[in-house]
Chain A
Amino acid sequence: MSIEETENEIVEEFEMFDDWMQKYEHLINLGKSLPMISEEKKTEDRIIKGCQSRVWLNSELKDGKVVFTADSDAIITKGMVALMIRVLSEHTPDEIIDAKLGFVEKIGLTQHLSPTRSNGLVSMIKQMKLDALAYKSKR
């Protein structure tokens, strides 16, 4: 599935919810179901510091595709992190660099992308793209 197709799938998924409460419950469940990364991988150099919640991000290149794993100490942030991984993981560096990620706005969670929130998500997306860029330049 392409990045855009996954984004559309998520948008459809969120359209089923009538109110914010269900939307957040879904996000919390997504956060809970994201496999935790092991404590030894939560190193200082992989931490993305936000003012509020912390995100740890790891990536590796497998068969030309970037595989992301991540974690957060806040469950709602972790839900957003899970969505980002679902969209961006296992794609080529070029696809990741070019991703527009318009789905966040479509599912009505733009406040998580506002810089004032400083919750690490904006920095996480930036780091995912930087990782992709690094793999691209290595090839």
Chain B
Amino acid sequence: MNKQKTISETPIDIEKIRADFPILSKKVNGKKLIYFDNGATSQKPVQVIDAIANYYKDQNANIHRGVHTLSQEITVLYEKARATVQKHLNAKSANEIVFTSGTTESINLVAHSFAKKFINKGDEVIVTAMEHHSNILPWQQVCEERGALLKVVPINNEGELIMEEYKKLLSDKTKIIAVAHISNTLGTVNPVKEIIKLAHEKNIPVLLDGAQAVPHTSVDVQELDADFYCFSGHKLFGPTGVGILYGKEKWLNELPPYKVGGGTIKTVTFEKTEYADVPLRFEAGTPHIEGGIGLAAAIDYVNDIGLDKIAAYEHELLIYATAALQKIEGVKIIGTAKNKASVISFVVEGIHAFDLGTILDQLGIAVRTGHHCTQPLMAHYCIQGTVRAAFAFYNTKEEIDEFIKGLERAIAMLK
């Protein structure tokens, strides 16, 4: 409590922040845009947009290859971006940071490479009932290929993992555990430190899907003792098409390459190839150079504001919106975990989420509707989909007021 009090004494400068995001002054359907679809993707500050534009205007060359000045300069900048990510996650070494195309690719990389070496017939992989499809399908696929079993940690009605059940699932057969740090649909912040501690007691590695966590909270991979941590640039106010796989160096060194090609090698003959050391071994082809540069700019941007301040402010928005939603008749919030990020999913009795989303869109309010790529989770709650409002630090209580008014109007129309 003390911590929050101190933070609210130095609040974030919301006017200044909003001015950094050009898209926030846009009108949609003739109305001022209210953007609450931050769980799907976040908006970008000028600092990120400028970094990308500047790359093409002034810095463009291929990296890791050329002897010419431009190539050397951009190589230094790209590797500096890697170091920015390393520092941001508090990874031990920049070798533990692999640039990928996003969370989905990061998970696919680990699942396929890890399975090839470590997963065999009769082995088990543990995921949870609240995972995004991207943290289910790669595991489901490798389990099918290797004859292994996919085990699922169940959740309670609040949308929290049932830890007793998790403990029961851990066995000598368990080869890896893949868990969302924060649920994209429910906003639940999972007890990942405890999950990892319990897994490590049995020497089982843990992969965390951090896609929804990095925009809301600071992550210290060493403190968590995570073996793998994945996230996407675009949800962290950076560009699309770039993401990160953090892996402990000892694990990355164990994994065979996933995609191979230019940039991943030491020597190639037609008989045999010697692959490069990590992380370059996993970065085939010309990478998303401006993506890496833009991601570093985004990380610098959130760190300038301070992720602790961001978390405290977003928590205020969450409490404010939750209270307002609970006052509307027929609204049921899906996901009421004690520890929640600024994501609210809800259903309205007798009204389809798609209809609500359509009317809100006419009012300039962008929310996400549907199953949020978590169909097994929807099945758990026996619903087809929800409306999801996910708040970022550039959102305001005034916007929440407008959203509540819009929602009431939509409900009146659709009833």
- Name A residues whose Cβ lies closer than 8 Å to a Cβ of B: 20-21, 24-25, 28, 51-54, 73-77, 119
| Contact between B362 and A20, CB atoms less than 8 A apart | yes
Asked if A51 and B413 sit within 8 Å, CB to CB, the answer is no
Docked-complex contact B29 and A73, CB < 8 angstroms: no
> From A118, which residue of chain B is reached at the shortest CB distance?
B370
* Contact assessment for A54 and B384 in the assembled complex, using a CB-CB cutoff below 8 Å: yes
Q: How many residues of B contact A (CB 8 A)?
A: 17
A28, B414: Cα distance in complex, Å: 7
Interchain CB contact (< 8 A) of A73 among B352, B362, B370, B371:
B352
Chain A CB within 8 A of B369 CB: yes
> Quick one: closest A residue to B409, CB to CB?
A21
Known: A20-B362, A21-B362, A24-B359. A53 touches B413 (CB 8 A): no
The answer to whether B362 touches A76, judged by C-beta atoms less than 8 angstroms apart, is no
Q: Do B355 and A76 have beta carbons less than 8 Å apart?
A: yes
The one of B29, B352, B370 that contacts A51, using a Cβ cutoff of 8 Å: B370
| A74 contacts across to B, CB distance below 8 A | 352, 354-355
- What is the CA–CA distance of A74 and B414 in the complex, to the nearest angstrom? 10
Which residues on B sit within 8 Å (CB–CB) of A77?
Answer: 352, 354-355
Name A52's contact: one of B29, B351, B369, B414 (CB within 8 Å).
Answer: B369
Which residues of chain A are near B355, meaning CB under 8 Å?
28, 74-77
Q: Which of A28, A53, A73 has its CB near the most chain B CB atoms (within 10 A)? A: A53
Q: Is the CB of B354 within 8 A of A119?
A: yes
B369: chain A residues at CB < 8 Å are: 52
Closest Cβ of chain B to A36, distance in Å, is: 14
| Min C-beta distance of A117 to chain B, whole Å | 9
Cβ of B385 < 8 Å from any Cβ of A?
Answer: yes
CB distance from B405 to the nearest CB of A (A): 14
- CB-CB contacts below 8 Å: B169-215 with A: none
**What's the nearest-Cβ distance from chain B to residue A21, in Å?**
7
Cα of A21 to Cα of B406 in the assembled complex, Å:
12
Residues in A neighbouring B384, C-beta threshold 8 A:
54, 73
Taken together as a complex, chains A and B put the C-alpha atoms of A73 and B414 apart, in Å, by 13
Name the residue of chain A whose CB is nearest to the CB of B362: A20
- The yes or no answer to B296 lying at the interface (CB within 8 A) is no
Task: Determine whether the beta carbon of A76 is less than 8 Å from that of B29.
Answer: no
Encode contact with A along B343-384: 1 for CB under 8 Å, 0 otherwise.
000000001111101110010000001110000000000001
Residues of B within 8 A of A (CB): 29, 351-355, 357-359, 362, 369-371, 384-385, 413-414
Chain B contacts for A119, CB-based, 8 A? 354
**Interface pair A76/B358, CB less than 8 Å apart:** yes
* Residue of chain B at shortest CB distance from A72: B352
Q: Which residues of B contact A53 (CB under 8 A)?
A: 352, 354
9 nearest A-B residue pairs (beta carbon): A74-B352, A52-B354, A74-B354, A53-B354, A76-B355, A52-B370, A20-B362, A74-B355, A76-B358
Known: A54-B384, A75-B414. A20 touches B353 (CB 8 A): no
Inter-chain CA distance A53–B358, complex, in Å, is: 11
Name 27 interchain pairs, CB-CB below 8 A, sorted by A.
A20-B29, A21-B413, A24-B362, A28-B413, A51-B370, A52-B353, A52-B354, A52-B357, A52-B369, A52-B385, A53-B354, A54-B384, A73-B352, A73-B384, A74-B354, A74-B355, A75-B351, A75-B352, A75-B355, A75-B414, A76-B354, A76-B358, A76-B359, A77-B352, A77-B354, A77-B355, A119-B354
From residue B171, how far is it (CB to closest CB) to chain A in Å?
37
List the A residue with the shortest CB-CB distance to B361. Answer: A111
| A20-B362, A77-B355 known, 4 other contacts, Cβ within 8 Å | A52-B357, A52-B369, A53-B352, A76-B358
- The CA-CA distance from A54 to B351 in the complex, in Å, is 14
Looking at B354, B359, B362, B413, which has the most chain A CB atoms within 10 Å of its CB? B354
Q: Kindly report which residue of chain B lies nearest to residue A75, judged by CB atoms.
A: B355
A54 and B414 CA atoms in complex are apart in Å by: 17
Contact call A25/B413, Cβ cutoff below 8 A: yes
Inter-chain contacts of B351 with A (CB < 8 A): 75
- Determine which residue in B358, B359, B362, B385 has the highest number of CB atoms from chain A within 10 A of its CB, and name it: B358
Interchain nearest-CB distance for A17 vs B (Å): 13
List chain A residues, Cβ under 8 A from B358: 24, 76
A21 to B413, CA, bound (A): 9
Q: How far is the CA of A75 from the CA of B352 in the complex (A)?
A: 7
Of all chain A residues, the one with the shortest Cβ separation from B357 is: A52
Contacts of A51 in B (CB 8 A): 370-371
Contacts of A20 in B (CB 8 A): 29, 362
- Nearest neighbor of B350 in chain A, beta-carbon distance: A75
- Within the complex, what minimum Cβ distance (angstroms) separates B239 from chain A? 20
Q: Which of B353, B355, B384 has the most CB of A within 10 A?
A: B355
Contacts of B371 in A (CB 8 A): 51
On chain A, the residues within 8 Å of B385 by CB distance are 52
B41 to chain A, nearest CB (A): 13
